[in-house]
Amino acid sequence: MVKVVFEPLNTLVVHDILKVNKDDLLRERITPSGSMPLWWCNGVLFSFASPPMVDEIVKDHINGKVHWMEVHYFAMREYTQVLELNDEHYAGPMKVRVIDTSNSELHQSFTKWLKENKKL
């Protein structure tokens, strides 16, 4: 039998944070091959960029520290599964999935910190 050990993250390092409007947040998730989801937790819609998994970042991660290079966010009270972007650059409405991560301890801690420090 394999022993299973749960070792949650203990530190989130955010290197840059930018409040953006909802349409810009949606635009950044649309790619030529489709769209990438956004995250929603505690009234905050957001995306984040992780650094390349080089040796130092991997060591940090193993030791419980995760890095987000840049976070873009928008205050959105209510959760919805899909958001639409109507933009003249696209043939029709573009849809972006939204994932409710309210059960994530990491995302809960981040959105709480964001509300306390960035004044949504």
Query: Which pLDDT score is estimated for 92?
Result: 73
Q: What is the pTM of this model?
A: 0.89
Q: pLDDT of the chain along its 120 residues, tens only?
A: 999 999 999 999 999 999 999 999 999 998 777 789 999 999 999 999 999 999 999 999 999 999 999 999 999 999 999 999 887 766 678 889 999 999 999 999 999 999 999 876
Task: For strands 44-49 and 70-75, give the pairing.
Answer: antiparallel
The answer to whether residues 85 and 26 touch, using CB atoms and an 8 Å cutoff, is: yes
Structure tokens at 20: 């953006």
Query: Which pLDDT score is estimated for 81?
Result: 97
Domain ranges of the chain: 11-118
